[in-house]
Amino acid sequence: MSKNQEAAFWQKAQRHLIRYGGTFESRIIERAQGSFVYDADQQPILDFTSGQMSSLLGHGHPDICDVVQHHIRNLDHLFSGMLTRPVVDLAHALSETLPPSLSRSMFLSTGGEANEAAIKMAKLATGKYEIVGFAQSWHGMTGGAASATYSAGRQGYGPAAVGSLAIPAPYPYRPRFEKNGEIDWQGELDYGFDLIDRQSSGSLAAFIAEPILSSGGLIDLPLGYLAALKRKCEERGMLLILDEAQTGVGRTGLMYAFERDGVVPDILTLSKTLGAGLPLSAVITSPAIEDLCHERGFLFYTTHVSDPLPAAVGLKVLEVVQRDGLVERARVAGAYLEKGLRRLQERFDCIGDVRGRGLLLGMEIVSDRTSKLPASDLGAAITRECMKLGLSMNIVQLPGMGGVFRIAPPLTVSDSEIDLGLNLLGRAIERAF
């Protein structure tokens, strides 16, 4: 009998765990290494989502292991009023990778915390309280971040934060606004802000956005959109917060996704990829905004703010990404993976769209490409078949779109591992379709 079916384990899990969304896989994961995780039978599972879209360098990277081992022995956690070299060095190293205006950082544990802090800073700096986001957004599950999250989790909890507003995200595969047969994202953006202006009480503080909406269905903002969005914000005295939890630190083939558009946010948040699987996030802003917030008494104590161990990990992540040329590797490997996905699209009419950048790609499952009708059951079936074959995939199911696979292997993934993933995915579709 499979060790994954250990009755005592599943009984304890059912008895003692709080279920926090979805269902658990029916395998017991024992270890992880590189691009693979291994179950209780020691069967390898190719990890095409980098864990929770976070293990940028794969699992168990030796340089990260060395840093963790050193700091767990020598300098792991401190009172939040104390400073250490890893924290200051990481802040400096990040500033070296960013435009000059983004030069002051604070370090927290999760993306939700970072977005929470960014929203509070925006409110304090502007003296306003209204926060605008995309209707397909995901920025976290804590109060302010959850209020700016519209893709899931809004029902049953009572009112969101006062001043929470949203506009639709541009969705080229299913455009709501068209001109001459092409998506008219500018018209949609103009209309969205016209509605915001009508709803606003005159207290617009910030817009928070991902350059690629991941949990919103891997929607890549069209080239030019971010610049137009920044202008909308400037016209209204709003700040622009960019959440690069999943797009930052090289994943899209640039160090930061906003670089493609030549737009500099007022506040940048990083998480997932910065810690390469360990809990680390960052809020980065300009001296002018930080000085103003400090003068007005900015307060954001958390138990693990400025912890030295995760900061040392983040510092090593930046070093490895730059030393090993992983930004360029993400671009090249992403193009190779995308080409393979498009070959699958030629074979299977249920693959409606392939989109994304670098090693953050989406594949939308539909009934057929002509109708574009969502095919939730088929997407779920493909996910199950992938796992049976040893491929870990993540699918997003949202109203109005087909199931969208978020494909984000580590930046260290090899071409042979990409080939394996594409082969397993093709076999899974054949079984399910």
Residues with active-site annotation: 138, 210, 243, 246, 272, 406
Nearest alpha-carbon partner for 330 in 257, 265, 224, 263: 257
Nearest alpha-carbon partner for 364 in 220, 242, 229: 220
Dist. CA 361–CA 1, nearest whole Å: 37
Reading the block at residue 82, the tokens are: 């104390």
- C-alpha 318, offset from chain centre: 18
Question: What contacts 187, CB < 8 A, 6 or more positions away?
Answer: 177, 179
- C-alpha 73, offset from chain centre: 31
Q: Could you tell me which residues are beta bridge partners of residue 124?
A: none
Q: Find the radius of gyration of the CA atoms of the chain.
A: 22
**Helix-helix angle 308-323:62-74, to 10 degrees:** 160
Alpha helical stretches, state H, 277-307: 287-295
Contact call for residues 45 and 57 (beta carbons, < 8 A): no
Look up residue 97 and give its amino acid.
Answer: T
